[in-house]
Amino acid sequence: MQVVKPKTGSCEREEQIWAWLADVPDPEIPVLSLVDLGIVRGVAISSDGVEVSVAPTYSGCPATEVIEQSIIAELQKNGVQNVSLKRVLSPPWTTDWISEVGRDKLRAYGIAPPEGSMSKRELTGIKRTVHCPRCGVDNTTLVSEFGSTPCKASYKCDECLEPFEYFKCI
């Protein structure tokens, strides 16, 4: 799914703010920007400053506060002094919001991007197909449902024998 960033207008200032936010890396997977990850939901500019709407990846994500501080720091570094943040909980973030560019960056980094969407099939334990980000085959084995972060699982490729992480569908 190609995620189109929501816009509140077409002014150059808003475009510039989106460009700055596209340079802010995710603290857990720095190859992805917050825009690639799809958690920046909107930018609103007013005479009082800039409000950025952000959706946490899941409740309790340990990186949420770091992400919010990174947004403020990036915009202040670029001259935007009055920045406020709005946490958006509805609709909740899912891995469907990761852009195609973000999915390509994950693959190049050695992390298999989420395949498909979270569905009843995922919840009932029917085996999902996970492609190796290195050689591309789907002959892979789940090693652990938990990887280096709660949003990733550990897999190994049964062809090239390389271990890799899979970004779980949420």
CA–CA separation, 87 and 65 (whole Å): 11
How many residues would you count in the chain? 170
The H or E element containing residue 54 is strand 49-54
What is the spatial order of strands in the sheet that 40-46 belongs to?
40-46, 49-54, 83-87
Residues 24 and 59 in one domain: yes
Q: Where in the sequence is the domain holding 33, given as residue range(s)?
A: 12-95
Residues 72 and 26 placed together within one structural domain of the fold? yes
* Residue 63 counted as domain residue: yes
How many domains is the chain partitioned into structurally?
2
Residue 52 identity (one-letter amino acid): V
Instruction: Tell me the per-residue pLDDT of 120-168, one tens digit each, with 9 for 90 and over.
Output: 445 556 667 899 999 999 999 999 988 888 788 999 999 999 999 998 8
Predicted model pTM: 0.74
Cis status, amide bond into 91, omega within 30 of 0? yes
- Region 4-20: mean pLDDT is 73
Give the end of a domain, one of 49, 68, 95. Answer: 95
Boundary-marking domain end, from 70, 95, 120: 95
- How far apart CA 114 and CA 103 sit, in angstroms, is 8
